[in-house]
Amino acid sequence: MRKIISILLLFTFGLSSCEKDDICDPATPTTPRLVIKFFNADSPSTPKNVTNLKITGKDMPEAIIFNETATGEAKYLTNGSSISIPLRTNENFSTFTFTLDSGNENAAAINSDEVRFNYTHQDLYVSRACGFKTIFALDPLSDGPPVSSPFIKVDSDSKGFWMKQIYVKEYNIETENETHIEVYF
């Protein structure tokens, strides 16, 4: 009988020393993505859907996946008026090629613009389970002629810019609950 009580006592003490599992709650805010909303350049207050937009980060092996359930090239295409893209956390800039009408059979319809976003970033401790998250502050360019915007736009295919204007709506990227950049085309 003493052995049984001793075993139960050891078992009880063993259970009391267990710690709660460290699991990051999915609702915990993590590193935010850059939220871009597209508008009609002829009617600036009207949101406009992009057509088969494909976004590829410079030096990245593949484009950003917008549709995980699709297969082939379709998983990289989006047709909405708002998108979210990740910024690099190990650099002070991210460069993306925005290809409108990607995959169109008519090569003349495909148009690409390259945009480089400059920013500063700061790592913030979230919790032991979640680790760190990074927040960003878009940074106006300091080199070259005076520029008040935190990006460089390059016509990467000689067809002219399909993005007519790019405006910064929110310089601080701390959540994904707001639009950071507005693009008019």
Q: What is the pLDDT of residue 144?
A: 41
| Mean pLDDT per 10-residue section of the chain, whose length is 185 residues | 62 58 82 96 95 94 93 94 96 94 90 92 92 90 50 68 90 94 93
Q: Output the pTM of the full model.
A: 0.80
Separation CA 161–CA 144 (nearest Å): 21
For residue range 34-76, list pLDDT tens digits in order. 999 999 999 999 999 999 999 999 988 899 999 999 999 999 9
Rounded to whole angstroms, what are the CA distances from 95 to 3, 113, 121, 150? 69, 11, 15, 12
Separation CA 141–CA 94 (nearest Å): 13
Q: What is the pLDDT of residue 98?
A: 95
Alpha-helical runs (H) found in the chain: 2-16
Q: What is the pLDDT of residue 149?
A: 61
Q: What is the pLDDT of residue 146?
A: 40
Separation CA 22–CA 44 (nearest Å): 47
